[in-house]
Amino acid sequence: MFILARAVVYGTFFVGFLLVFLPARVLTWSGITAPAPLGALPIVGIVVAIAGAAVAASCILTFAFVGRGTPAPFDPPRQLVVRGPYRFVRNPMYLGAAAALLGAALYYQSLALAVYAIVFLLAMHAFVMFYGEPALRRRFGAAYEDYCRRIKRWQPTIRPRRDVTESKA
C-alpha cells in the first residue's frame, strides 16, 4: 500500500506541474482564458485528453503494482515493467501525457499549448535517451536489452509479442 501512496504522490507532482500548472501558464501567457465554444474540435480534444490521461495514469499504477516502485528517478521500480501499456511501447506514460496536452490544445484551440506539447515530448525524448535508457540498462541488463529489441521506444506495437508479456523480468 505504501508503494501506491508513493506512486500517487509522484503522479500528482508530475501531472500537477507538467500537465496542469505549466500548461495553464502557457494558456495565460497566450491570452486564452476560457475554452472555445464547444464544437467538433474541442470535443475531439476532450476525448484525446481523457485517453492520454488514462494511459499516463495506468502507467503510474503499473509501475506501483508490477514494478514495485514509481516512475520517479529517485524511486525507480524494483522490477522491469513490461506489462500493461508497456507491452505496446516503451514510453507510454510520456506519450499519454503528450496526448493529454495535445487534447487540451485542441480543446482550447491553442497553438501555444500544442507547441508546449511538442517541446514536452522532445524534452522527454532527451530524458529517455540520456538518462532513462542508460539507467534501465544498468539496472536490468539483458532483460532490458531483450525488451528493447521487441518493443519500440515511441511507436506502439499493435500486437505485442507473447514472450514480452509473459516475461518474468
Q: What is the pLDDT along the chain (169 residues), one digit of tens a residue?
A: 677 777 777 778 877 887 788 888 888 888 887 776 788 999 999 999 999 999 999 998 898 889 988 888 888 889 999 999 999 999 999 999 999 999 999 999 999 999 999 999 999 999 999 999 999 999 999 999 999 999 999 999 887 655 554 444 4
| Angle of CA points 100, 17, 135, to nearest 5° | 85
Name the 3-class secondary structure at 82: coil
Half-sphere exposure of 1 (CA within 13 A, CB side): 0
0.75 surpassed by pTM: yes
Quote the CA–CA distance of 77 and 6 in Å, as a whole number: 11
Q: Give me the CATH number covering residue 160.
A: 1.20.120.1630
Q: How far apart are CA 94 and CA 124, in angstroms?
A: 7
Domain that holds residue 82: 2-165
pLDDT at residue number 162: 59
| SS3 of residue 81 by DSSP | coil
Rounded distance, CA 100 to CA 87, Å?
Answer: 20
Structure confidence at residue 17 (pLDDT): 81
Q: Residues 151, 88: contact at Cβ < 8 Å?
A: yes
Total number of domains in the chain = 1
Cα angle: 123, vertex 128, 133; to 5 degrees: 170
User: Could you tell me which of 23, 166, 25, 167 has the C-alpha nearest to residue 106?
Assistant: 23
